[in-house]
């Protein structure tokens, strides 16, 4: 094993400008920052890749802020949302009643009942724009009972298993029975299908594995569409929502032969889990900024002081230490360069220890910047999002309340 190189060095001018904006704004606690210019560039990149006729659905869980979603809606021109829990569904129905909301996962029928109970009479028209995701005959039966009890006519979207194998339907007798029920039951309006396939991006390209899986996913989707045409008629199927994709796979869709809308959200802020070749045109647009509490010229580990000299001699990246405000987030430090978590000291949610090389230069009250691994849970941990624009923090965008 070769001796590690010192990865520390001068700070990136971009992060120094971001630090100056945070200081100017009087921010002194862990904060989630979105670079608005990069966000806008990512929205434009996504929209520019969509083929003619392909609609875009905004994934709300990946952009968990009403103001953030409103900005994406305005710039993309989309009024389609994908929603994932009842509190989010209620909040979006109240704030954006004109939007079309497709559930991104099947909700227990009790959650659907709670949603209807949460709406005032003024909010009620928004409920007619919700597509409830159904994955089994039992769930369809439960939702039919709910429709009868509430006097609602429910729009139903059927979840397809196109290869992810996380549940859902495939062409066959069960799908045929559900389609016939949706055709005949006055409590329902059939709105379309959703077929999610994030596994494609994770499969190796070697020996054609990914291409075969992609062809298989589209074949499964096509078989479901063909069965729907047999039950409902070709004209009815032509008007259905055919939802697919997510951030890791949206660029696979070069036409509307299978899907006529794609869903994405994470690629607009690009956490580290989305650093993939397919998403290379997108820029990181979200960062955790947290103040340095202590900056130490030498790393010392409790109870292992005797080993410090040898550790530093072998790995210069353990030479210096900073303790930050908070920590233990799903995130990776990116500035100052060369910082890493100390495996011996362990993680901390109070004062996380980060170590770096001989050239690490950062003082208390300056900021360490980290990139989140994902957005949907991490964004909810910091209160209002700080919006960075033209060298300043110009807005604060409240986030959703944490919910499953």
C-beta separation of 160 from 224 below 8 A:
yes
Q: In the 8-state DSSP scheme, what is residue 260?
A: S
CA 126, distance to chain mean position in Å, is 24
Sign of CA dihedral 50, 78, 236, 193: positive
C-beta separation of 250 from 267 below 8 A:
yes
Q: Cβ contacts of residue 168 below 8 Å, gap of 6+?
A: 135, 159, 160, 161, 162, 195
Q: How many residues are recorded in the chain? A: 404
Whole-Å CA distances, 29 to 129, 339, 368? 39, 19, 11
pTM: 0.94
- Alpha carbon distance 134, 105 (integer Å): 8
pLDDT tens-digit profile, the chain (404 residues)? 677 787 889 999 999 999 999 999 999 999 999 999 999 999 999 999 999 999 999 999 999 999 999 999 999 999 999 999 999 999 999 999 999 999 999 999 999 999 999 999 999 899 999 999 999 999 999 999 999 999 999 999 999 999 888 999 999 999 999 999 999 999 999 999 999 998 888 878 878 888 898 899 999 999 999 999 999 999 999 999 999 999 999 999 999 999 999 999 999 999 999 999 999 999 999 999 999 999 998 876 665 555 555 565 556 777 789 999 999 999 999 999 999 998 777 789 999 999 999 899 999 999 999 999 999 989 999 999 999 999 999 999 999 987 65
- Alpha carbon distance 369, 288 (integer Å): 6
Burial 57-92 (b: 16+ CB within 10 A, else e): bbbbbbbbbbbbbbbbbeebebebbbbbbbbbbbbb
- Does the N-terminal peptide bond of residue 116 adopt cis geometry, omega within 30 degrees of 0? no
Q: Cβ contacts of residue 156 below 8 Å, gap of 6+?
A: 131, 132, 134, 140, 143, 182, 188, 189, 190, 191
- Alpha carbon distance 318, 372 (integer Å): 23
C-beta separation of 104 from 135 below 8 A:
no
Q: Cβ contacts of residue 390 below 8 Å, gap of 6+?
A: 37
- Alpha carbon distance 358, 364 (integer Å): 17
Count the alpha carbons within 13 Å of 25 in the hemisphere toward its beta carbon: 23
């Amino acid at each position: 094993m070769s001796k590690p190189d010192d990865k520390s060095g001068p700070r990136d001018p971009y992060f120094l400008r971001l630090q100056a904006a945070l200081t100017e704004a009087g921010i002194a606690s862990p904060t989630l920052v979105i670079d608005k210019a990069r966000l806008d560039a990512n929205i434009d990149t996504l929209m520019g890749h969509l083929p003619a006729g392909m609609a875009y659905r905004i994934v709300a869980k990946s952009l968990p802020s009403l103001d953030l979603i409103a900005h994406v809606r305005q710039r993309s021109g989309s009024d389609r949302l994908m929603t994932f829990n009842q509190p989010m569904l209620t909040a979006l129905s109240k704030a954006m009643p004109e939007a079309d909301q497709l559930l991104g996962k099947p909700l227990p029928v009790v959650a659907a009942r709670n949603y209807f109970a949460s709406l005032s009479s003024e909010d009620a028209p928004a409920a007619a724009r919700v597509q409830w995701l159904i994955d089994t005959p039992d769930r369809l039966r439960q939702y039919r009972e709910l429709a009868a009890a509430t006097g609602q006519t429910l729009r139903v979207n059927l979840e397809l298993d196109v290869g992810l194998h996380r549940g859902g339907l495939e062409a066959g007798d069960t799908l045929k029975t559900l389609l016939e029920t949706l055709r005949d039951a006055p409590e329902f309006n059939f709105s379309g299908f959703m077929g999610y396939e994030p596994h494609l991006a994770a499969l190796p390209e070697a020996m054609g594995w990914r291409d075969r899986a992609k062809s298989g996913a589209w074949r499964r989707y096509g078989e479901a569409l063909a069965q729907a045409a047999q039950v409902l008629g070709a004209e009815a199927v032509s008007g259905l929502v055919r939802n697919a994709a997510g951030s890791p796979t949206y660029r696979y869709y070069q036409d509307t032969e299978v899907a006529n809308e794609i869903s994405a959200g994470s690629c607009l802020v690009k956490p580290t889990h989305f650093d993939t070749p397919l998403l290379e045109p997108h820029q990181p647009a979200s960062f955790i900024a947290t103040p340095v509490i202590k900056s130490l010229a030498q790393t010392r580990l409790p109870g292992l002081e005797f080993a410090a000299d040898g550790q530093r001699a072998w790995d210069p990246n353990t030479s210096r230490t900073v303790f930050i405000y908070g920590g233990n987030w799903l995130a990776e430090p990116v500035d100052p360069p060369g910082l890493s978590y100390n495996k011996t000291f362990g993680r901390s949610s109070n004062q996380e220890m980060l170590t770096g090389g001989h050239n690490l230069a950062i003082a208390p009250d300056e900021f360490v910047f980290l990139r989140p691994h994902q957005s949907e849970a991490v964004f909810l941990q910091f209160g209002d999002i700080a919006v960075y624009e033209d060298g300043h923090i110009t807005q604060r965008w409240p986030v959703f309340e944490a919910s499953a």
